[in-house]
Amino acid sequence: MNLAELPTPALVLDREKLAANTAAMAERARAEGVCLRPHCKTAKSAEVARLATRGHSGGITVSTLAEARYFAAHGFTDMTYAVCAVPAKVDTAAALVRDGVNLTLLTDDAATAARLGARAAELGVRFDVLIEIDSGEHRTGVAADDPALLDIGRAIADSAALSVAGVLTHAGHSYAARSVAEVKRIAEQERLAVVTAARRLRDAGHDCPVVSAGSTPTAVHAESFEGLSEIRPGVYVFFDLAQLGRQSCSFDDLALSVLATVISHRPEHNRLLIDAGGLALSKDVSANELLADTGYGWVCNAAGRRIGDLHVAAADQEHGFVSGSRVPFDALPIGTRVRVLPNHACMTAAAYDAYAVVEGDQVMATWDRVNGW
Whole-number pLDDT of residue 118: 98
Q: Tens of pLDDT along 8-49?
A: 999 999 999 999 999 999 999 999 999 999 999 999 999 999
Q: Tens of pLDDT along 74-110?
A: 999 999 999 999 999 999 999 999 999 999 999 999 9
CA dihedral 248, 253, 258, 263 (to 10 degrees): 110
Instruction: Please determine, for residue 57, whether its predicted confidence score (pLDDT) is greater than 90.
Output: no
* Fold for the domain defined by 3-10+249-368: Lyase, Ornithine Decarboxylase; Chain A, domain 1 (2.40.37)
Phi, psi of 40 (to 5 degrees): -90, 10
Structural domain boundaries in the chain: 3-10+249-368, 16-238
Q: pTM of the entire structure? A: 0.96
Homologous superfamily of 16-238: Alanine racemase (3.20.20.10)
